[in-house]
Amino acid sequence: MWLRFTSFVVFLVAGAAAGWWLRGWPAACAGLLLAATAWWLVDALRAVRVLRGLREDETLALPRMGGLWGELADRLRRLQRTGERRLQASERRLQEFLEAIQASSNGVMLLDAEGRINWCNPTAASHFGIDVERDHEQLIGNLVRDPAFTSYYANPDPKRNAIVTGSGDSAGRPVRLAVRLHFYGEGRRLMLSNDVTALEQAEAMRRDFVANVSHEIRTPLTVLTGFVETLQSLPLQEDERARYLELMAQQASRMQTLVNDLLTLSRIEGSPPPGRSEWTRLGDLSDDCEDEAQALSALLTAGQGAPHALAFVPPPALALAGSRTELMSALSNLVSNAVRYTPAGGSVTVAWQALSAGQLEFAVEDTGPGVAPEHLPRLTERFYRVDRSRSRETGGTGLGLAIVKHVVQRHGAELRIQSTLGKGSRFAIVFPASRVRADAPVSANA
Ligand code: ADP
């Protein structure tokens, strides 16, 4: 500011001095006026240059000069650079924010006050079968027709989810979405969607499971209660008493088997997958299976003339890694099923076989009734039975193959089922090469 004032004074003094030197005092006054006008003109020109730069919105092209106007141009330039840096930073943040929403596994959709789609991430687009480009600004009510959505949309509650049918839903492959609407701005809505198909299925499975277990326990319990009442209220002969007690023992053992299978299933599901530190010789597993099969066959065919023809092919000298208890449970379930479903006089063959890629197969073949192809995919479901009465008569719980499936999965193995109705079945477990090794001299857990 001092410089500006000084330059003005210097101009005036120079003008006045020049006038006085040329023509005396009157000319000095004219020189003074002329100098003031010239100073003002130069100053105005400089201001115009700065203003032009601003008007053309090219502040970075502002002239570089000294004095007050130069200082002003410099400060404006600095201000603009700071503003641009801030703008870039906030654009970067916005971009990152949008990328995060785009990557979210939850659907996010922005709707205007009329319910038109302003923006949505790819997850929301796939949830509702929306084309982001084509359906931009379309009314959501026209695109999502599920009545559950329509009624929730008409009466939204940000505290509760609406469960609606998602895009691609079919009878064999349901798609269920949890949708929630939140209000923001002036009547705008944020719609969040979440795929809850697996959760819904798990919940349905849990309900079915509880219903099945209750049903399985209620039947023997009802029989038991009936016998107890009979024993309490009727004077019975000794042989009748003994027969009733025998039947009661059968029902109690049925419940016990069921509870044991349930405990086995929950233990298997709740424990970490078995490692490769415990090795069991195939010979040991095979011997245990054979003992159980012989005992079961004797029990089931007692008084029926022809027993089962049980053949246990001697296993190769190999050992298997995994939980011995679980392996035994899976193998004995397959063997006992073959014995239970094969009528007296039929044959059951159990064999271990080393396959070409180092895998190991355990196979149980029987000449029983076989299973029709439509039942095969469901055999490993809990409580799924083809022959309900045969299963019950022989002490089945409907959980055997579910246990086998779990054990097989936990050991990285594969369950293969082949069956021909009226001819027989072949249930095989193929263990991966990584769980097989040459027979250890002594069983690790022996
Ligand atoms: P269960 O305790 O009823 O035997 P599983 O889960 O072991 O239950 O088997 C499921 C169903 O598969 C059985 O109810 C039976 O109908 C059928 N099944 C299993 N193994 C055989 C087999 N070897 N031969 C014929 N049917 C079988």
Write the pLDDT tens digit of every residue in 161-198.
999 999 999 988 899 999 999 999 999 999 999 999 99
Distance CA(191)–CA(179), nearest Å, equals: 7
Distance 368 CA to ligand 1 centre (A): 11
Distance CA(250)–CA(223), nearest Å, equals: 10
Q: What is the mean pLDDT of the chain?
A: 91
Instruction: State the pLDDT at residue 385.
Output: 92
Instruction: State the pLDDT at residue 441.
Output: 55
Residue by residue, DSSP assigns 78-92 as HHHHHHHHHHHHHHH
Closest among 342, 315, 345 to 331, alpha carbons compared = 315
Q: Which range among 47-56, 126-135, 417-426 shows the weakest confidence by mean pLDDT? A: 47-56
The per-residue pLDDT for range 368-416, each reduced to its tens digit, is 999 999 999 999 999 999 988 888 888 889 999 999 999 999 999 999 9
Distance 260 CA to ligand 1 centre (A): 17
Residue 80 reports pLDDT greater than 90: no
Residue 16 reports pLDDT greater than 50: yes
Instruction: State the pLDDT at residue 344.
Output: 92
Pocket test for ligand 1, best of 401, 405, 419, 420 (most atoms within 8 A of CB): 401
Residue 108 reports pLDDT greater than 70: yes
Distance CA(28)–CA(22), nearest Å, equals: 8
Is the shortest distance between the CB of 330 and ligand 1 below 6 Å?
no
Tokens 């502040």 label which residue? 59
Higher pLDDT, 67 or 195: 195
Per-residue pLDDT averaged across 264-274, rounded?
A: 90
Is the shortest distance between the CB of 400 and ligand 1 below 6 Å?
yes
Pocket test for ligand 1, best of 385, 389, 390, 393 (most atoms within 8 A of CB): 385
Closest residue by Cα to atom 22, ligand 1, is 338
Number of C-beta neighbours around residue 311 at 10 A: 12
Residue 207 reports pLDDT greater than 50: yes
Q: Does the domain spanning 202-270 belong to CATH 3.30.910.10?
A: no
Closest residue by Cα to atom 19, ligand 1, is 337
Is the shortest distance between the CB of 329 and ligand 1 below 6 Å?
no
Distance 421 CA to ligand 1 centre (A): 13
Instruction: State the pLDDT at residue 331.
Output: 97
Distance 152 CA to ligand 1 centre (A): 46
Is the shortest distance between the CB of 403 and ligand 1 below 6 Å?
no
Please report, as a single letter, which amino acid is at residue 5. F
Distance 337 CA to ligand 1 centre (A): 6
Distance 385 CA to ligand 1 centre (A): 6
Closest residue by Cα to atom 2, ligand 1, is 396
The per-residue pLDDT for range 342-369, each reduced to its tens digit, is 999 999 999 999 998 899 999 999 999 9
Domain 275-446 belongs to what architecture?
A: 2-Layer Sandwich (3.30)
pTM over cut 0.85 = no
Residue 446 reports pLDDT greater than 50: no
Per-residue pLDDT averaged across 204-216, rounded?
A: 92
Question: CB of 415 within 8 A of CB of 408?
Answer: yes
Residue 59 reports pLDDT greater than 60: no
What CATH number was assigned to the domain covering residues 105-195?
3.30.450.20
Cα-only R_g, the chain:
44
Q: Confidence class of residue 443 from pLDDT cuts 50, 70 and 90?
A: very low
Closest atom of ligand 1 to 382 CA is: 6
Closest among 271, 311, 315 to 436, alpha carbons compared = 315
Distance CA(286)–CA(303), nearest Å, equals: 27
- Percent of the chain surpassing pLDDT 70: 97
Distance set, CA 132 to CA 121, 392, 417 (Å): 8, 56, 46
Instruction: State the pLDDT at residue 236.
Output: 85
Task: Give ∠ CA 355-359-362 in degrees, rounded to 5.
Answer: 80
- Taking the domains of the chain in order of start, what are their residue ranges? 2-99, 105-195, 202-270, 275-446
Distance 384 CA to ligand 1 centre (A): 8
Pocket test for ligand 1, best of 383, 391, 393 (most atoms within 8 A of CB): 391
